[in-house]
Structure 1
Amino acid sequence: MTAVQIPLAATASQTLNVILNQQLVRLDVYQRSTGLYMNVWINDAQVVAGAICQNLNPVVHADYLGLGGDFMFVDTQGSDDPAYDGLGARYVLTFVETGNG
């Protein structure tokens, strides 16, 4: 397994594109009053909508989508769930490849 860090900015709403397993992956990361959420798109098709982002909890939970891994937020200073103001510093988004994609 390989882990890749996905660069995020400390903003309340952002969209970024990354290439993972030879696929274009778009991530929409946004803060709501109930927590941080993420949408995942693979090659312009939305595969995950409104997934809650929690510390050390996989975001996608679905190998059959063909992503070949999963996203996970890591609190580098404790065990809190991520909030936008700590993205890219305290809260790091990683993609862990499984090799099954």
Structure 2
Amino acid sequence: MMATIPLNPSSSQEIACTLSGLSCRLWIRQLSTGLYLDLLLDEKPLIMGAICFTGVDLIRNPASPLPGRLYFTDTQGNADPYYDGLGDRFLLQYGAS
């Protein structure tokens, strides 16, 4: 099952959502060196300070308690995500295993 996590074109945002039945909180922020993501799973850090690239899985640990893939897609090409295109051009997607 594929889910798109709703984002706003904002340089910093926090999103609470449920992925694979688990409570998640994401913090996405734009810095001069790229777009970064933190993911807390049940308020415990799972991913901290991961730089976001199009098509690259942000959950890189096969032993992660969150199964599946979390990644950005570019609906207009293959550019890496930037805050002003979030939710429109750049989609954050999760696919459960």
Global fold match (TM > 0.5): yes
Q: Which residue of 2 aligns with 1:8?
A: 7
Q: Secondary structure at the match of 1:24?
A: strand
Tell me the TM-score normalised to structure 2 length.
0.96
Which of 56-65 and 23-32 deviates more?
A: 56-65
RMSD: 0.7
In the alignment, residue 37 of structure 1 is paired with which amino acid? Y
Gaps of 5+ in 1: none
Which runs of structure 1 show a deviation greater than 3 angstroms over 4 or more consecutive aligned residues? none
Matched positions, count: 97
Superposed, 1:60-79 pairs within 5 Å as 60-79=59-78
Mind listing any 5+ residue stretches in structure 2 that lack a counterpart?
none
Structure 1 position 70, deviation (Å): 2.0
User: What TM-score does the superposition give when structure 1 sets the normalisation length?
Assistant: 0.93
State the Cα distance separating 1:40 from its structure 2 match.
Answer: 0.6
**AA matched with 2:31:** R
